[in-house]
Amino acid sequence: MGTLKHLGSRSGNLEAYVLLGQEVRYMEEAGNLQAGRMEAWHSDKLPGPLHGARSP
């Protein structure tokens, strides 16, 4: 059986899936200065189950 994955642009509508622990991938424009804003999802600064969420 396949694995559910979410793919979308930076609209802000996919964060709920990240919080549920599902894999989310974002598309960004090349050279976008805000592309690093999702790095916090991979840091150790988030509490509990959010640490290490799969959101690039």
pLDDT in tens, 3-34: 888 888 766 678 788 778 788 887 878 887 77
pLDDT(53) > 80: no
Closest CA to 28 of 39, 17, 19: 39
pTM, rounded to two decimals: 0.51
Distance between CA atoms of residues 31 and 52, nearest Å: 25
Distance between CA atoms of residues 42 and 30, nearest Å: 21
Distance between CA atoms of residues 12 and 33, nearest Å: 17
Please give the pLDDT value at position 28. 78
Please give the pLDDT value at position 55. 46
Contacts of 53 (CB under 8 A, 6+ apart): 18, 19, 21, 41, 42, 46
Please give the pLDDT value at position 48. 54
